[in-house]
């Protein structure tokens, strides 16, 4: 399984420090760093004009003061949105981040990113990968990037573009089924990312014995999560990862 060796942190801030700042924004990444996190998980999608931006939902209603589909916006319109006020007055005026400016910030802060290629319904996975991946690979070194997706089409495209060795890919699962290998082997995955609530100990063992790292999303209760560390889980993706700091297994 060729892949770069990644000094992955055990604690990864989901959408930035999304418990304390508006998700997927620059301020959420700065807050993660300030809280002591060296890795963040972020979602990337394309605007209608092809600009890659850091955003989770298919529409802009939940996390901005606008309405409508992300895929219908151009950059100028997207930049006029307030992407922070919905979270709290202190964040009013925060703007939707482009992938480009987010990568610059991550590099400046020397942070690692688990970038999720978010292929919402009706969106083109190839266009997303072809636009976003070169930016990621040009800006961040291999040891500070892990690209993941629920979309096998996106993952396959990423592997084709990146070649066999220079990019760590993570396969996202809601449930790790019996046939999990059929999604990991074709893309020479580095890691398996699973919903922690649906995870079974036997599957964890299979995944780890096959040589993959196992990451869990999105856990916020360190006590309930605790047995998974003993199973061999590598990292937790959490809205408030520092809650887990006192619960980590000895290394
Ligand atoms: O990458 C892990 C997690 O972010 C996947 O779910 O919906 O939060 O992007 P979601
Ligand atoms: Mg995500």
Question: Tens of pLDDT along 145-178?
Answer: 999 999 999 999 999 999 988 899 999 999 999 9
| Ligand 1 centroid – CA 56 distance (Å) | 8
- pLDDT tops 80 at residue 2: no
156, 147 contact by CB (below 8 A): no
| Ligand 1 centroid – CA 217 distance (Å) | 7
List the one residue out of 217, 55, 40 whose CA is nearest residue 145: 40
Give the ipTM.
Answer: 0.99
Q: Is the CB of 239 under 6 A from ligand 1?
A: no
Q: Is the CB of 55 under 6 A from ligand 1?
A: no
Q: Is the CB of 43 under 6 A from ligand 1?
A: yes
Question: Tens of pLDDT along 6-52?
Answer: 999 999 999 999 999 999 999 999 999 999 999 999 999 999 999 99
Q: Is the dihedral of CA 176, 178, 183, 189 positive or negative?
A: positive
Work out the pLDDT band at 1, boundaries 50, 70, 90: low
| Ligand 2 centroid – CA 121 distance (Å) | 15
Atom of ligand 1 nearest to the CA of 148: 1
What is the per-residue pLDDT for 93? Answer: 98
List the one residue out of 179, 110, 100 whose CA is nearest residue 132: 100
Ligand 1: which residue has its CA nearest to atom 3?
Answer: 217
Q: Is the CB of 23 under 6 A from ligand 1?
A: no
| Ligand 2 centroid – CA 42 distance (Å) | 6
In the chain, the percentage of residues whose pLDDT exceeds 90 is 95
- Hey, where are the domains in the chain? 11-244
Ligand 1 pocket check: which of 56, 149, 190, 235 to mutate, most ligand atoms within 8 Å of Cβ?
Answer: 56
Strand partners, 40: 13, 113
| Ligand 2 centroid – CA 211 distance (Å) | 23
| Ligand 1 centroid – CA 57 distance (Å) | 11
List the one residue out of 232, 223, 224 whose CA is nearest residue 191: 232
Q: Is the CB of 218 under 6 A from ligand 1?
A: yes
Question: Tens of pLDDT along 41-67?
Answer: 999 999 999 999 999 999 999 999 999
Mean pLDDT of 92-109: 98
When the candidates are 3.50.50.60, 3.20.20.190, 3.30.70.260, 3.40.1530.20, the CATH number that belongs to 11-244 is 3.20.20.190
Q: Is the CB of 120 under 6 A from ligand 1?
A: no
Atom of ligand 1 nearest to the CA of 116: 1
> For the chain, where are the alpha helices, taking DSSP H only?
26-35, 75-80, 99-108, 125-139, 152-162, 181-184, 201-209, 222-225, 227-231
For the CA atoms of 23, 29, 34, 39, the dihedral, rounded to the nearest 10 degrees, stands at 110
List the one residue out of 103, 89, 157, 172 whose CA is nearest residue 127: 157
9, 38 contact by CB (below 8 A): yes
* pTM higher than 0.90: yes
Compute the distance between CA of residue 17 and CA of residue 151 in angstroms, rounded to an integer. 25
Compute the distance between CA of residue 92 and CA of residue 216 in angstroms, rounded to an integer. 31
Residue 122 φ/ψ region, left for φ over 0, alpha for ψ in the -120 to 50 degree band, beta for the rest = left
| Ligand 1 centroid – CA 91 distance (Å) | 23
């Amino acid at each position: 399984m060729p892949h770069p060796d990644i000094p992955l942190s055990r604690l990864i801030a989901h959408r930035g420090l999304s418990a304390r700042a508006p998700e997927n924004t620059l301020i959420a990444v700065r807050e993660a760093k300030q809280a002591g996190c060296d890795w963040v998980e972020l979602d990337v999608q394309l605007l209608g004009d092809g600009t890659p931006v850091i955003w989770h939902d298919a529409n802009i209603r939940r996390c901005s003061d606008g309405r409508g589909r992300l895929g219908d916006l151009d950059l100028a319109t997207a930049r006029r949105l307030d992407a922070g006020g919905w979270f709290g007055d202190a964040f009013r005026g925060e703007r939707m981040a482009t992938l480009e400016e987010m990568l610059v910030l991550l590099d400046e802060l020397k942070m690692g990113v688990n970038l999720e290629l978010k292929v919402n319904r009706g969106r083109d996975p190839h266009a997303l990968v072809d636009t976003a991946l070169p930016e990621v690979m040009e800006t961040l070194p291999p040891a500070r990037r892990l690209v993941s997706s629920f979309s096998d089409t996106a993952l396959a495209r990423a592997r084709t573009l990146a070649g066999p060795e220079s990019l760590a890919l993570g396969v996202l699962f809601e449930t790790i089924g019996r046939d999990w290998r059929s999604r990991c082997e074709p893309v020479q995955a580095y890691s398996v990312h699973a919903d922690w609530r649906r995870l079974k100990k036997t599957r964890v063992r299979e995944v780890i014995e096959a040589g993959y790292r196992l990451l869990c999303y999105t856990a916020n209760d360190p006590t309930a999560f605790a047995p998974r560390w003993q199973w061999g889980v590598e990292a937790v993706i959490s809205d408030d990862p520092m809650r887990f700091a006192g619960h980590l297994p000895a290394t």
